[in-house]
Amino acid sequence: MIRLRGGVDDVSKTSLTGAATVILSGISLGLESAVYSALVIAAAVYGAFLLGGGVVLLSLFAIALAGTGLLTTVGVIVSMDTFGPVSDNAQGIAEMSGDIDGEGAAVLTRLDAVGNSTKAITKGIAIATAVLAATALFGAFRDSIIVATAEAGGTDALNTLQEQLQYYGILDVASPANLVGLIIGAAVVFLFSGLAINAVSRAAGAVIYEVRRQFREHPGIMEGTEKPEYGKVVDIVTRDSLRELVTPGLLAVLTPIAVGFGLGVGALGAYLAGTIATGVLMAVFLSNSGGAWDNAKKFIEDGNYGGKGSPAHEATVIGDTVGDPFKDTAGPAINPLIKVMNLVALLVAPAVVSLSIGAGANTGLRWTIAIVAVAIIVTSVVISKRRPIAVGDPEVAKV
């Protein structure tokens, strides 16, 4: 989103020294652009807050209106987001057909590069709306805590002021429990991104082994006398994508439950703050790094630095391969991750309060819920990590 053209030029130049420098330049570009984008989003949130004149309810309403204002451009967002896949598929079909070359192929390549930029912009808008919506939901989260506290009989039975503050929607970062919740919220974004990228890696490995099998058993594919078995590849990708949804989904739903019931409602609020702060940075980093690697490849294919088939092109192809799960899987998935965890936290907050204070307080039940949630998350992650890297290869599966 920031310095996209200049950034792509820099990444393209590094292809002259190999794939490693392409990867490094793309990562540095993504990290830098995440800072600028986060500052812009933070300025929008704080500007909307200032319009409230210091009244919390009015300020949260202004922030919600800011998010609604972004969504009023939905027509432009959808058209820009649709342009990317259409131009990408058009370029891919033309390349596979072999019927389009010369100026026509060059035009399609440039359109594909523009499509990558438009997709990066729409992903940035999506994460901005997620942050604005999550910030506005903090108001509902705070209100639900206050109402539940009043229904439970107040906080008079609590011994310290630090324990009482969390039940009035005040987050004290000096509290060890809140600090732990903040760290867990930031860490979940990294774990979620790692699971998403690893899922793509496993599915891609399965496809590679299937393609190699077909080439080995059907040599006529390369000669044009036999057709590939497209259905098997589609089946692998579809089956693996559905199966790999389980662990990230459980992580998004059960982690707020574990933190809330285990560490308290204050830690749950800090957890959401950590998730939002880290999520916006990670989403922009992944999307912009992937887009830069993809466009650098297009830039080389346009005849620069040796063009197609050159060592520079091979380096950018590796960068583009790394960037695809960044910009098309992990980056966009953080947007629904933030929204789901905010909604889950909002729903469980009254139950956390009712089991923590008042006549209905039940520390044993609260810890039981937290331990069960943690056990499910850990089991799911362990099962996911024990799967073979390439699920389609029997020899690897045995190892």
Q: What is the pLDDT of residues 367-382, one digit of tens each?
A: 999 999 999 999 999 9
Indicate yes or no: pTM above 0.75: yes
Structure tokens at 41: 């989003």
Q: How many domains does the chain have?
A: 1
Q: Which of 178, 146, 189 is nearest to 340 (CA)?
A: 189
Name 132's Cβ contacts closer than 8 Å, sequence gap at least 6. Answer: 41, 44, 45, 48, 63, 64, 66, 67, 70
- Over residues 348-364, the mean pLDDT reads 86
pLDDT value of residue 367: 93
Q: Residue 319 in contact with residue 335, Cβ under 8 Å?
A: no
Q: Are 11 and 26 in contact (CB under 8 A)?
A: yes
Is the pLDDT reported for residue 44 higher than 80? yes
**pLDDT band at 71, cuts 50/70/90?**
confident
Looking at residue 229, its amino acid is: E
For position 125, what pLDDT does the model report? 82
Q: What is the mean predicted confidence (pLDDT) over 153-180?
A: 74
Indicate the angle between helix axes 19-51 and 56-71, nearest 10 degrees.
Answer: 130
| Mean pLDDT calculated for residue range 135-161 | 76
- pLDDT tens track for 191-250: 999 999 988 888 888 888 888 888 888 888 887 788 888 888 889 888 888 888 889 999
* Per-residue model confidence as pLDDT tens digits over 162-171: 667 777 777 7
Query: What are the tokens at 180?
Result: 């732990």
Q: Which of the four pLDDT bands, split at 50, 70 and 90, describes residue 6? A: low
Which residue segment(s) compose the domain that 191 sits in? Answer: 4-398
Buried b (16+ CB within 10 A) or exposed e, 298-315: bbbbbebbeeeebebbbb
Flag whether pLDDT at 99 surpasses 90: no
Dihedral Cα 320, 202, 331, 95, nearest 10 deg: 40
Paired tokens of 262? 């285990």
Average pLDDT estimate for 376-393: 77
Query: What is the rounded average pLDDT of the residues 10-31?
Result: 91
Q: What is the mean pLDDT of the chain?
A: 84
At 95 the pLDDT is 75
Rg (CA), the chain: 24
Tell me which residue of 92, 297, 330, 74 sits closest to 198, measured CA to CA: 330
Q: For residue 388, how many other CB atoms are within 10 A of its CB?
A: 16
Letter string b/e over residues 156-193, b meaning 16 or more CB atoms within 10 A of that residue's CB: eeeeeebbbbbbebebeeebebbebbbebbbebbebbb
Task: Report whether pLDDT(364) > 70.
Answer: yes
What integer pLDDT is reported at residue 256 of this predicted model?
95
Name the DSSP letter for residue 329: I
With bands split at pLDDT 50, 70 and 90, how would you rate the model's confidence at 49?
Answer: confident
Query: Could you give the CA distance from residue 127 to residue 133 in angstroms, rounded to a whole number?
Result: 10
C-beta of residue 171 within 8 angstroms of C-beta of residue 273: yes
Q: What is the mean pLDDT of residues 75-99?
A: 80
Looking at residue 395, what is its pLDDT?
47
